[in-house]
Structure 1
Amino acid sequence: MPMGGERSIVATGVGLAVLSSDTAAAQMSFALQPQQYGIGWVAVSLGLLLATTATAALYARQRSRANMTESVLRKIIADLRARVDRAEALTASEPQIVVTFGAPGEEPEISGSLPAGMSLPSGRMVLAFERWLSSDAADNVEDRLAALLDRGESFESLVVTRKGEHVIVEGRAAGGRAVMRIKSLAGEKLALAELRTRHEEMQRELKRFQVLLDRLPQPAWLRDGEGKIAWSNTAYAATVDASGAVAIGPDILEEPARRKAAQATSSGHAFHERTPVVTHGERRVFDVFEAPHEGGSAGMAVDMTELESLRNELIRRIESHRKTLDELATGVAIFAQNQRLVFYNQAFRQLWKLDPAFLSHEPTDSSILDRLRADELLPEPPDFRAWKLQLLEAYRSVEPREHWWHLPDGRTLRVVQTPNPEGGVTYLFDDVSERINLESRYNALTRVQRETLDHLRDAVAVFGSDGRLRLHNPNFSKMWRLSDEALAAEPHATRVFDMCSRLHEPDEPWDLLRTAVTAIPETRKPVYGRIERRDGVTIDISTVPLPDGATLVTFSDVTAAISVERALTERNEALETAGLLKSNFVKHVSYELRAPLTNVIGFAQLLADPSTGSLNERQREYAGHVLDSSAGLYAIINDILDLTTIDAGTMELDLSNVDIKTAVNAAVEGISGRLAPGMTLDIQIPPGIGSFIADEKRVRQVLFNLLSNAIGFSPEDKPVKLSAERADGKIYFRVTDQGPGMDAEQIAKAFDRFESRTEGSRHRGVGLGLSIVRSFVELHGGWVEIDSTPGKGTTVTCIFPTGGSGPRGGAAI
């Protein structure tokens, strides 16, 4: 009991004694006066006296006990003070922080300190464990402290501060209170704690490595000094077909590889070899590495089967890519990180005309550029050194770079530098000279097309595959009176034709145009039509499907053309009527002339006949002239009649088997009378030439006309040549003269009727001979060719089919 309590008890006893003595005196005084108060009062007074006496005795006894208790308490207090002094002395002798926790809600008492220089905070901040401990250590201490405060569980933890200082945190329950001490370590205790911490870390690290090795997909193992498997992971067990991780079991290496590994590790060297291993009944390739260590060796194997397959596949792909790149027209050159050439294709070598021997030495990028510059193959920039350094910057870049090189020989190259992921640069050299020329010509063509469309008299509109207006010329908007603003929005064909229909109300042509423009490209067909607007303008419409799915629509104003066409039609009808009249007239006149001409010829022959009477020389000459002129006129009339029959389409051929040699001889006999003195005929007919199907009369007439022309144009001292030839199922008749020849213009007019050329010749025909020849030959299904050179003569060739394929009648020429 404290000293204040003892003083209170003593003071209370003294007060009670004083109170009892005063009361007793009063009672005695009251008892001594019985006559005054009576006997009752005396009895009461005696009772009070006895009570007072008993109380005094009790007080004395309690006081004695209190004195004894006080003496005992003083001894306890002294003992406690001694203990406290010893505890304070003990606490002060060891650097530590003591934290005493009282009843819940009371502030903890913190005393003591740690050596100077330690990183722990002072005061209540020492309870903020996360400030000076790692998160895991702080959580651990807080959990243990909570268990101490809640359940009185003692604890002791060795922790390391954030700065690496070793501290012991311990907690105990004492005297109904919780006490936590934080002590620093020094000397042997510190060394022991450090060893303990390091040991725990090594144990944890070893555990992590064991877990890691056991979970590795690659087999791993440890051998003892005798070379036997002392430990292996799960992958090892799976590889050797064991049920789980084994301490001693089958060896992953076959005997030859195991001996090599033992020899290498026993001599202190590592063993590394790629060797086959049979696992799960399949032979696979493993990369095995085994290194010696004290008391044995450690090894690991990596399954390289897939990697080998991928490597072989990569090699095949690289070779395939090389072959593919060699086929490219684009030059490709790949430089490694050290700027040396590691690959090039044939297009690169041919582009720069580089020697394969030079390229085989893997030259650097810079040396190749210098060589190309020396060969005057590169562009000539003002500062070549700076230009080359700029190119070589690609080795330090991550983005592709594009350059345009204009070479001295006029070519243009597009050069792309692409950084490789593993270092180095890939060059692509694309010769775009042709493309640039094509683009230039395309742009020029587009401008010409645009200008052409803009200046066309026809209205033109182009609709895309989606049916929208893509292109139109000014005449389109002008013809249909459409505003440029309405057409600038590229309206759909439906909208455009709706706007055009205001000038032409019937829907039929517009429906056809809509179908032509919006139909599926595979089903589109050209559309042609003619419409007449309300204002009297006649327009021809046509559509043309374009290859890209678009449709070209043209509108041609043919109002004037129709008027001209009508006039021409009327004129043509008039000309045809006039021509018919002319043909009828000529035919009629020719027939009418033949009768009197026949009489003239008959009487002239009669006069020339000696039997009718003798004539003198001059008379006979005159009669001969009459016969010759009459015969010429008769031939002209016959030619005119033949042409009239051909024009009328009523000429019929009398086809038969014509002997070629006989037909030639007949023509020669008929023309022999027209040969000038000294002129000869050179006839070349191969023996056995045979015959062909034709009209013999017309064949003789063709040959006669050809010979007549040739004789008329040949000099008197030069021969005229006639030849016949069978080849390729055809008969070729050729008549050649050595006359003045013809130029191209004269050849073009040679077959025209009444086209006669008399300059430099004795020929005086009316110009119907060759026209008759071509008509008869074409009636037979053949044709006529003229080969002539001015001053060197002319060759006319008539080609007849041997089968007589010409019409038998009714042929119209």
Structure 2
Amino acid sequence: ALSHGLELLDRSAREQIVRQARRPGLPAQALRLSAVVAGARRTLDVSESTLEAGRVGIAVDVSELESVRADLQRQMDANVRTLDQLPTAVAMFDARQRLIFHNAAYQRLWDLDPAFLEGRPLDGEILDRLRAARKLPEQADFRSWKTDVLAAYRAVEPTDTPWYLPDGRTLRVVADPNPQGGLTYLYHDVSESMKLASRYDALMKEQAETLEALKEPVAVFGADGRLTVANRAFAATWRLDPATLAGKPHVDAVIAACRALTPDQSPWAGIRQSVTGLSETRSGHGCRLDINDGTVLDCSSQPLPLGATLLTFIDVTASANVERALTEKNDALERASQLRDTFVHHVSYELRSPLTNIIGFTQLLGDETVGALNERQREYSEHIMRSSAALLVIINDILDLASIDAGSLELQRETIDVRATVEAAVRGIEDRLAESDIGLDLDVPEGVGSVFADGKRVRQILFNLLSNAVGFSAPGQQVRVEARREGRELRLTVTDRGRGIAPEVIDRVFDRFESNTLGTKHRGVGLGLSIVRSFVELHGGRVEIHSAPGTGTRVTCLFPVEPPPGNGGLAEAAE
């Protein structure tokens, strides 16, 4: 610059330097200026001094230093902004124990006057003010406690101390010594986490006591298959050592110990799978375990969060024994019923032939073909004929039911006139109506038409219904027979005004050999309504019964007008 006569600074900058250099009694100081050097803007520390030989000026390039200082300031400003956003209170003190920085959370935590904090108070002064405001932990010897707190300035390692404040809050105070001297405080408010931990501990203790009080065995296995919880009932039921269970054995070891008490080993595979299966495929599992001492347990496994599994065992010995007894009783009753049906079936076959002979010879005697009968002999002959005919009806009913059970009874379907069929059935009961002084109300319209059915079986259905109605009616009462065509169904209804059926009995009236004849003149073996329902269902229809004590009984048979597909309900009736 000297050789070429260049000016590095503008006029105002030069004049400012000259004025500073001429200030009497003051040492020369560098003036920081910005100048363009070699085409680049630079920051210079410029000073000028007056010597005997003249004046000398010195310019030192501090551009890099200024850039680093600016970057450092920006970084510090960013750190301050970040610390102000933290919920943790932060305070920094220098080696003289004066406050040099605090974030917004620190001021909120202690609710101190901002002007007081800006005055850079000593750490001890802050502690004294907080004590006066009763914001520090209560101490019997505050001076000694304060000395211990300030001793952190001389420590090498950070200290971590809980502070229990008078307002109920709990602080975790970390004092971290700085390498250049001083101290940084971090104040963590752990009140909520302490409360949660306390509630968690209380809940776990309550759950543990609850499990121990349960009479049912309970066990919990973790995601790794190891036992995490087991109550006393679990250990007692499976004869396991509590010390062994305290060692958290694997489910395989637990099952191996339990297997010895159960004769059936198959349920354990499902139990193990429910504990060790993949989390995506695990589901609830249930099984029944029979123990050698006769105890019966229902085991249930339920998946828990984090891959754990809950096993519960309920003692169902009493109900299982009752269930077993009922099953055995039902099996015995079923075998007895089958034996009875087989016996009755065979006896019926054996009786029908001699009964047919009796009826034939009785008719021969009644016709007086072999000789004349006196009045008493004729009366005896008629009585034998009626009794034999009634017995033959019963035998035929039994054989029909046996055929239905065997699935061998087939309907002889044809188009039959409904009115003619009803009248034919009525004719078969006219003598009993007259004998019992029972009136008949026949309501069968001319236009009721026909139905595709087995005429013989329909007449048998009506005959049985009319026989029941007459048997349960008192002299002078009416029995009503109705026939109606409704849509694709034919409704045949027989109604009496007798004593009716009690609610507790009505569900059993269709059972075989169920006869509710007490208090009536009707005598039967209880096959009539069973035959009715079997034949109606064989046609693909259904039977409805409505009755109440003192109001009589109404039985309705509904037949499909069109022939049903297939074999017309043979399989259903056989079932």
Task: Report the TM-score range of the alignment, normalised by the length of the smaller protein.
Answer: 0.5 to 0.7
Aligned to 2:517: 758
* Aligned counterpart, 2:570: 808
Confirm or deny: 8 A CA contact 1:497 1:510 kept in the other structure: no
Do 2:221 and 2:251's aligned partners in 1 also have CA atoms closer than 8 Å?
no
Distance in 1 between residues matched to 2:284 and 2:379, nearest whole Å: 75
Of 479, 482, 486, the match for 1:720: 479
Unpaired runs of 5+ in structure 2? 1-15, 29-49, 51-205
Deviations 1:632-691 (A, max 9, x none): 111111122223333444333334444433332221122222103542222223443333
The 5 Å alignment of 1:553-632 reads 553-555=311-313, 580-610=338-368, 612-632=370-390
Task: Give 1:667's aligned residue.
Answer: 425
Q: What is the rounded CA distance, in whole Å, between the counterparts of 2:480 and 2:230 in structure 1? A: 65
The amino acid across from 1:775 in the alignment is S
The Cα shift of 1:745 comes to 1.5
Structure with the bigger percentage of helix: 1
Structure 1 position 788, deviation (Å)? 0.9
Structure 1 residues 476 and 761 mapped into 2: Cα distance closer, same or farther (>3 Å)? Answer: same
Q: How does 1:236-315 map to 2 (within 5 A)?
A: none
What does residue 792 of structure 1 align with? 551
1:619 deviates by 2.7
1:128 maps to none
Residue 521 to residue 503, structure 1, CA distance change in 2 (3 Å): closer
Aligned partners of 2:289 and 2:570: how far apart in 1?
46
Amino acid at match of 1:599: N
CA contact (8 A) 1:676 1:716 kept: no
TM-score (norm 2): 0.53
User: Partners in 2 of 1:558 and 1:730 — Cα distance?
Assistant: 50
Greater RCO (Cα-Cα under 8 Å, separation 6 or more) = 2
Residues 536 and 680 (structure 1 numbering): CA distance in 2 closer, same or farther, change over 3 Å? Answer: closer
Q: State how far apart, in whole Å, the 2-side matches of 1:766 and 1:508 are.
A: 49
Which residue of 1 is the match for residue 255 of structure 2? Answer: 500
Residues 519, 638 of structure 1: alpha-carbon distance in 2 compared, 3 angstrom cutoff = same
Return the offset for 1:624.
1.4
- Report SS of the residue matched to 2:547: strand
Unaligned ranges ≥5, structure 1: 1-139, 153-172, 174-445
Matches within 5 A, 1:124-273: 144=20, 147-148=23-24
Residues in 1 aligned to 2:417 and 2:232: alpha-carbon distance in whole angstroms: 70
Please give the alpha-carbon distance, in whole angstroms, between the structure 2 residues aligned to 1:686 and 1:810. 32
The one-letter code of the counterpart of 2:380 is: Y
CA gap 1:582/1:510 in 2 versus in 1, 3 angstroms:
closer
The letter for the 2-side match of 1:632 is: A
Q: Which residue of 2 aligns with 1:367?
A: none
Residue 453 of structure 2 corresponds to 694
Q: Which has the larger radius of gyration?
A: 1
Deviations 1:747-777 (A, max 9, x none): 1332233332334432111222112222222
Q: Distance in 2 between matches of 1:460 and 1:776?
A: 56
The equivalent residue for 1:749 is 508
In 1, the alpha carbon distance for the partners of 2:442 and 2:232 equals 70
The one-letter amino acid of 2:394's match is: I
CA contact (8 A) 1:543 1:551 kept: no
The 5-angstrom pairing of residues 252-651 of structure 1 reads: 454=214, 459=217, 475-482=233-240, 495-504=250-259, 510=268, 512-517=270-275, 519=277, 523-525=281-283, 527=285, 543=300, 553-555=311-313, 580-610=338-368, 612-651=370-409
TM-aligned CA distance change 1:688 to 1:515, over 3 Å: same
Shift of 1:782: 3.3
Residue 586 of structure 1, CA deviation: 2.2
Q: Secondary structure at the match of 1:797?
A: strand
Deviation digits for residues 362-403 of structure 1 (CA, Å, limit 9, x no counterpart): xxxxxxxxxxxxxxxxxxxxxxxxxxxxxxxxxxxxxxxxxx
| Residue aligned with 1:503, SS | helix
Counterpart amino acid of 2:258? L
State the match for 1:740 in structure 2: 499
SS of equivalent to 1:501? helix
Between the aligned partners of 2:452 and 2:382, the Cα distance in structure 1 is: 38
Distance 1:467 1:735, change over 3 A: farther
Q: Find the aligned partners of 1:596 and 1:507 in 2 and give their Cα distance.
A: 60
Q: Which amino acid aligns with 2:470?
A: I
CA shift, 1:719, in A, is: 1.4
CA distance in 2, matches of 1:752, 1:455: 45
**For 2:321 and 2:308, how far apart are their aligned partners in 1?**
34
Structure 1, residues 199-257: CA drift from partner, whole Å, max 9, x if none?
xxxxxxxxxxxxxxxxxxxxxxxxxxxxxxxxxxxxxxxxxxxxxxxxxxxxxxxxxxx
Q: Secondary structure at the match of 1:699?
A: helix
Is 1:654 the counterpart of 2:404? The answer is no
Q: Is the CA contact (8 Å cut-off) linking 1:650 and 1:810 kept in structure 2?
A: no
The alignment partner of 1:794 has SS state of strand
Cα deviation code 1:415-436 (max 9, x no counterpart) = xxxxxxxxxxxxxxxxxxxxxx
Distance verdict in 2 for CA 1:531–1:709, change over 3 Å: closer
Over residues 20-43 of structure 1, what are the superposed CA-to-partner deviations in whole Å (9 max), with x where a residue is unaligned?
xxxxxxxxxxxxxxxxxxxxxxxx
Shift in Å, 1:743: 1.3
Contact 1:516 1:543 (8 Å CA) reproduced: no
Whether 1:703 aligns to 2:462 is yes
SS at match of 2:259: coil
When residues 662 and 544 of structure 1 are mapped into structure 2, their CA distance, relative to the original with a 3 A threshold, is farther
Alignment CA distance shift 1:507-1:633 (3 Å): closer
> Does the residue aligned with 1:746 lie in a helix, a strand or coil?
helix
Q: Per the alignment, in what secondary structure is the counterpart of residue 441 of structure 2?
A: strand
Provide the residue aligned with 1:131 in structure 2: none
Shift of 1:809: 6.0
Q: Deviations over 1:723-762 (max 9, x none)?
A: 2233353333221100011111121332233332334432
CA deviation string 1:88-135 (max 9, x = no partner)? xxxxxxxxxxxxxxxxxxxxxxxxxxxxxxxxxxxxxxxxxxxxxxxx
Deviation at 1:714, TM superposition (A): 1.4
How far, CA to CA, are the matches of 1:643 and 1:552 in structure 2?
Answer: 54
Report the CA distance shift for 1:552/1:732 in structure 2 as closer, same or farther (over 3 A). Answer: farther
Q: How big is the shift at 1:779? A: 3.0
Cα distance in 1 between the residues matched to 2:542 and 2:367: 43
Corresponding residue to 1:682 among 437, 441, 448: 441
Q: Is the 8 A contact 1:654 1:808 kept in 2?
A: no
Q: Provide the rounded CA distance (Å) in 1 between the counterparts of 2:446 and 2:487.
A: 18
1:768 counterpart residue number: 527
CA contact (8 A) 2:537 2:573 kept: no
Quick one: percent identity of the two aligned structures? 50
1:246 maps to none
